[in-house]
Amino acid sequence: MPSPLNVGLIGFGNIGAGVVRLLHEHAELIAERCGRPIRLARIADIDTTTKRDCPDVTAILSSDTDGLLADPQIDAVIELIGGYEPARTFVERALRAGKSVVTANKAMLARHGADLMAAAPKGASLLYEAAVGGGIPLIRAIDQGLAANRIRGIRGIVNGTTNFILTRMEAKGVRFKEALAEAQKRGYAEPDPTLDVNGTDTAHKIALLAAQCFQQDIRIGDIKVEGIESLTPTDFAYAKELDYKIKLLGIAKSESPDGPVEVRVSPTLLPASSLLGQVPGVYNAIEIDGEPVGPTLYYGQGAGPKATSSAVASDLMALAACKGNQEPPMRLRIPVGKKNLKPIEDIVTEYYLRFLVTDKPGTMAALSRVLGENNISIRSMIQHGRERAENATVILITHAAREGNVQKALQAIRALEVNKSDPFVLRVEEV
């Protein structure tokens, strides 16, 4: 049997325990498929006393991260501590020492990924299958399975917490806070769910996917991000009447090979019959449109120890399968500083607009006049009676319009006498 791939693990929480468990339970299968075993040689964590749900690893567990990184016997390092620092420093040190790194840390990669790739010397790889989509083999599909394609667009549901909340709001007609409380009770949402519900987690992931698909240095700060906190049961009721679903989407697309890339995150209306529109609960789904392959869809569980450990193990197996002088696998390197992004005001899509207005003659004429002055045409409209006093809610779906024009129109509508509340806007993605 060839010599094992010796691995060090930094971060021994629930995900780390899941990796230990998988490497132990599937050791024979992994060795058979790779042609060599994977050996967990050292584990470093600040907590060395808590009992984890995995085989006993007391003999290799310590708090000595420096010793692990300096150990010449360690071939690859798994980073599972999360956050920006000290994770970034540990990953850079490992790479500069010639050790490959496997990480699930989407936040760190969305801010520092291109820099870390540039720091990796020949022979060291930075692999991150577990950073997006949990157990869905998405990164490798882009890197290898779709390597011959020009990617035209990618859009997806990549946060199970928000998808569960939106599913419950739609099904039960409850408000956001009630659906969030249920998600927390079931363990789907963290005690502090901010990064999930405000769209940041989705933005981390779409930054990685966009950088990979379009070979540009796209980072979290480049992305227009909106969360789901402002959605109401009213929006779900009207979406259903219009035959739409509301999903939090990460979207990246480009109209031409050399054209600018549009990257954004926001709650979005999708046709109810669309595949993405039908994704329930905590599941993830990502649609990639390539040339010549056309649309492809990837679906599965996007989080949790089992899904994440599966993805981590797949990267370790890719490293272990390298033989002799064969170069280890490396994600397509992202050129530092290379980016050509479309300004958010230049994106073009359809829009869902919700207004609370005075229900009297001339109101629709006033709204239509402002929209027309900004080159926005109305595709459909819904109005259901008066809600309180003399006011009514009006829902408009526009034809394709420029974001900058929509924002100018909304600013003008806020100043109209007939307008009684801040207008609410959602973007619409057709199939």
Which residues are identified as catalytic?
205
- Range 187-196, long-range pairs (CB < 8 A, 24+ positions): 188/160, 188/161, 188/164, 188/282, 189/161, 189/164, 189/165, 190/161, 193/161, 196/159, 196/161, 196/162
CA atoms of 233 and 240, how far apart (whole Å): 11
Angle at 185 between CA 220 and CA 278, to 5 degrees: 60
Angle at 161 between CA 286 and CA 352, to 5 degrees: 65
Burial 113-133 (b: 16+ CB within 10 A, else e): bbebbebbeeebbbbbbbbbb
Element (H, E) at 239: helix 233-241
CA atoms of 97 and 73, how far apart (whole Å): 12
CA atoms of 344 and 367, how far apart (whole Å): 24
Helix, strand, coil % (nearest 5) of the chain? 40, 25, 35
CA atoms of 337 and 217, how far apart (whole Å): 6
Strand partners, 428: 269, 350
- Range 185-188, long-range pairs (CB < 8 A, 24+ positions): 188/160, 188/161, 188/164, 188/282
Q: What is the DSSP letter of 419?
A: B
Q: What is the DSSP letter of 161?
A: H
CA atoms of 71 and 95, how far apart (whole Å): 13
Give residue for tokens 């629709």: 364
Amino acid letter, residue 251? I
Angle at 347 between CA 345 and CA 348, to 5 degrees: 125
Whether the CB-CB separation of 277 and 289 falls below 8 Å is answered with no
CA atoms of 44 and 60, how far apart (whole Å): 8
Spatial CB neighbours of 175, under 8 Å, sequence gap ≥ 6: 169, 232, 233
